């Protein structure tokens, strides 16, 4: 069996039992950073959870919860009777429940938005089904062009329920949609997405500065807030040379 890798104790000096941040989260974050920095090498076998808990002054369930977080992110692999190992190979980021606007900002690009259409209308069949409102109910229709460092990247079409009609064009050009919704006390908890591809229409080609008929990456999404209500339906298209989706799948 592979010998266990002694986790540097100083990794966990940052654990603060008085902090409002949960202990399992503090531990998971510290360990994740150590793995990403390769201070804990790929493939190495970690110390068992009981002994780790003793060294850290944490109970076993707390340690387990921290490790499970990293298993779910695809960074660790555990086997009964064997132990816990760091996955070989590059660790990648993941599709998360963030907006494109924030994603771009975090990857060092400057996002800008142009509002193409902004209209109070009524829900068509698709929008009504996705948002769980009646056909013909008042909704807000948005079409935005999102650019990164000035290069057109995506056309974002969204339908929102009536209570977001106080969002202005100016706000939409300055911030991401999720930020604006959050500022109104609505935070997104769950989203169902479908990712596909199709050819660009003439209008899409013009907006994205590509030829009509070229491939587009498509994503349609319905998002729900923390009470389970549908608060957004979107149909987005992306330039595939500039954007793609990354995700990590874990068997559990």
Partner DNA sequence: CAGTGGTCTAGACCACGAA
Partner DNA sequence: TCGTGGTCTAGACCACTGC
Contact footprint for DNA (CB under 7 A): 1, 4, 20, 22-25, 46, 48-51, 57-62, 64-65, 78-84
* Among the listed residues 40, 70, 100, 188, the single contact to a copy of itself using CB under 8 A: 188
Which of a copy of itself, DNA, none has residue 207 at its interface (CB below 5 to 8 Å by kind)? none
Pick out residues in 93-132 that bind a copy of itself (CB under 8 A). 95-97, 129-130, 132
Q: Could you tell me which stretch among 11-19, 83-91, 103-111, 154-162 binds a copy of itself (CB under 8 A)?
A: 83-91
* Among the listed residues 88, 169, 184, 212, the single contact to a copy of itself using CB under 8 A: 88
Cβ-based neighbours of 235, under 8 Å, separated by 6 or more: 157, 158, 218, 219, 220
Q: Return the SS3 of 15.
A: coil
Q: Return the SS3 of 217.
A: strand
Q: CB–CB of 231/223 below 8 Å?
A: yes
Instruction: Tell whether residue 198 is a contact of a copy of itself (CB under 8 A).
Output: yes
Query: In this structure, what token pair is assigned to residue 115?
Result: 């509002």
Question: Which residue from 154, 153, 149 is spatially nearest to 108, judged by alpha carbons?
Answer: 149
Q: For residue 177, how many other CB atoms are within 10 A of its CB? A: 24
**Phi then psi for 232, rounded to 5 degrees?**
-165, 135
Residue 45 CB, nearest approach to DNA (Å): 8
Cβ-based neighbours of 199, under 8 Å, separated by 6 or more: 212, 213, 214, 215, 216
Which of DNA, a copy of itself, none has residue 138 at its interface (CB below 5 to 8 Å by kind)? none
Which of DNA, a copy of itself, none has residue 228 at its interface (CB below 5 to 8 Å by kind)? a copy of itself
Residues making contact with a copy of itself (CB under 8 A): 42-43, 74, 77, 79, 85-90, 92, 95-97, 129-130, 132, 187-199, 213-217, 222, 224, 226-230, 240-241, 243-251
């Amino acid at each position: 069996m592979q010998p266990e890798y002694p986790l540097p104790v100083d990794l966990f000096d940052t654990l603060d039992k008085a902090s409002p941040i949960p202990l399992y989260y503090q531990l998971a974050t510290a360990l994740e950073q150590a793995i990403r920095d390769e201070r804990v090498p790929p493939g190495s076998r970690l110390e068992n959870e009981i002994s780790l808990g003793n060294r850290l002054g944490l109970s076993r369930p707390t340690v387990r919860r921290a490790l499970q977080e990293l298993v779910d992110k695809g960074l660790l692999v555990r086997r009964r009777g064997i132990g816990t190992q760091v996955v070989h190979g590059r660790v990648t980021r993941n599709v998360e429940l963030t907006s494109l606007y924030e994603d771009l900002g975090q990857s060092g690009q400057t996002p800008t938005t142009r509002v193409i259409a902004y209209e109070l209308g009524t829900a068509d069949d698709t929008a009504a089904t996705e948002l769980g409102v009646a056909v013909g109910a008042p909704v807000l229709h948005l079409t935005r062009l999102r650019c990164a460092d000035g290069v057109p990247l995506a056309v974002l079409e969204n339908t929102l329920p009536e209570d977001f009609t106080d969002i202005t064009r100016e706000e939409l050009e300055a911030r991401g949609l999720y930020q604006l919704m959050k500022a109104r006390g609505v935070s997104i908890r769950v989203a169902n997405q479908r990712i596909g591809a199709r050819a660009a229409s003439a209008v899409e080609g013009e907006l994205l500065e590509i030829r009509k008929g070229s491939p587009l990456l498509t994503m349609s999404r319905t998002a729900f807030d923390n009470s389970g209500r549908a608060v957004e339906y979107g149909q987005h298209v992306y330039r595939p040379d500039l954007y793609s989706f990354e995700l990590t799948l874990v068997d559990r």
